[in-house]
């Protein structure tokens, strides 16, 4: 088990303390995700800071987030919001894109991946926090015809799927934006349908990381349970909150994490 931990890190030296911190991070991420989205923005940096190598951190995020996506799909399937006609081709392309993205990230050295994660964190944060403003400015009336073209759906899901496998955080928001603007789905349809595609891309990346031996199931199980608990309490809070406070907390939290990562990266 020590092989998946960075030598001298918190979790390598003090396993149970490190595991407790991972569980706490998963709980907080689930809570925030249920209200404002962006669980990966908390999970991946937290995993790195506790002592998981970059590739393992990305893999664990997929392990945790895949279960969370399933919970969201269950709720959307009860409604008629999912555009099932575009699902088959979208699932295939999202799977392919995410698998390729994960394979690419697995080929890179660990120190390079750390810089990539640091560079992509603002992208995921921007997509998560400003999704609403981007969609509000988009010219997509309720009467617009949905673009069910297999080519349009395939390209959309392939590109976003690649991003999910390569990095991950913000994928849900990027899927919604792309489906809304490019494929002309309504906001509700885009939100519901994106969950299916996001689940497919999670599976694609999950398989690539699993084959590469980057999954740590022993520590993953308590993290999944904590994330589900966080989603549960977060969803209850979301009923009486528009998420603005949580979004501000997310900005501050990710900002502090990025400053810490930058300091560690350049201080050696």
Segments in the chain below pLDDT 50: 1-2, 142-143
Q: Which pLDDT belongs to residue 2? A: 44
Q: How deeply is 103 buried, as exposed, middle or buried, from its count of CB atoms within 10 A (0-12, 13-18, 19+)?
A: middle
Q: Which pLDDT belongs to residue 1? A: 44
Q: Which pLDDT belongs to residue 146? A: 62
Q: Which two tokens stand for residue 151?
A: 């080519």
C-alpha pair distances (Å), 47 with each of 114, 164, 223 = 12, 17, 11
Q: Which pLDDT belongs to residue 155? A: 94
- Estimate the crossing angle of helix 110-129 against helix 39-50, to 10 degrees: 150
Q: Which of 208, 207, 218 is nearest to 1 (CA)?
A: 218
**pTM of the entire predicted model:** 0.82
Place of tokens 């995020």: 61
Q: Which pLDDT belongs to residue 142? A: 47
- CA separation for the pair 5, 174 (Å, rounded): 31
Helix, strand, coil percent values for the chain (each to nearest 5):
80, 0, 20
């Amino acid at each position: 088990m020590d092989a998946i931990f960075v030598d001298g890190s918190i979790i390598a030296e003090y396993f149970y303390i490190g595991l407790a911190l991972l569980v706490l991070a998963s709980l907080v991420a689930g809570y925030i995700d249920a209200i404002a989205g962006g669980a990966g923005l908390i999970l991946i940096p937290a995993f790195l800071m506790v002592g998981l190598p970059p590739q393992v951190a990305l893999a664990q995020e997929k392990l945790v987030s895949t279960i969370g996506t399933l919970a969201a799909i269950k709720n959307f399937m009860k409604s008629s919001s999912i555009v099932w006609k575009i699902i088959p081709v979208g699932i295939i392309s999202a799977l392919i894109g995410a698998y390729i993205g994960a394979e690419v990230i697995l080929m890179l050295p660990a120190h390079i991946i750390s810089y990539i994660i640091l560079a992509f964190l603002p992208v995921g944060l921007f997509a998560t926090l400003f999704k609403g403003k981007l969609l509000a400015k988009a010219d997509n009336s309720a009467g617009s015809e949905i673009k069910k073209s297999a080519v349009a759906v395939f390209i959309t899901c392939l590109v976003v799927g690649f991003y999910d496998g390569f990095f991950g955080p913000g994928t849900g928001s990027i899927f919604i934006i792309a489906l809304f603007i490019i494929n002309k789905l309504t906001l509700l349809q885009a939100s519901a349908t994106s969950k299916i595609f996001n689940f497919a891309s999670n599976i694609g990346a999950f398989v690539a990381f699993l084959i590469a031996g980057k999954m740590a199931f022993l520590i993953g199980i308590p993290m999944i349970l904590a994330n589900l608990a966080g989603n549960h309490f977060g969803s209850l809070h979301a009923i009486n909150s528009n998420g603005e406070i949580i979004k501000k907390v997310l900005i501050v939290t990710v900002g502090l994490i990025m400053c810490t990562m930058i300091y560690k990266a350049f201080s050696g």
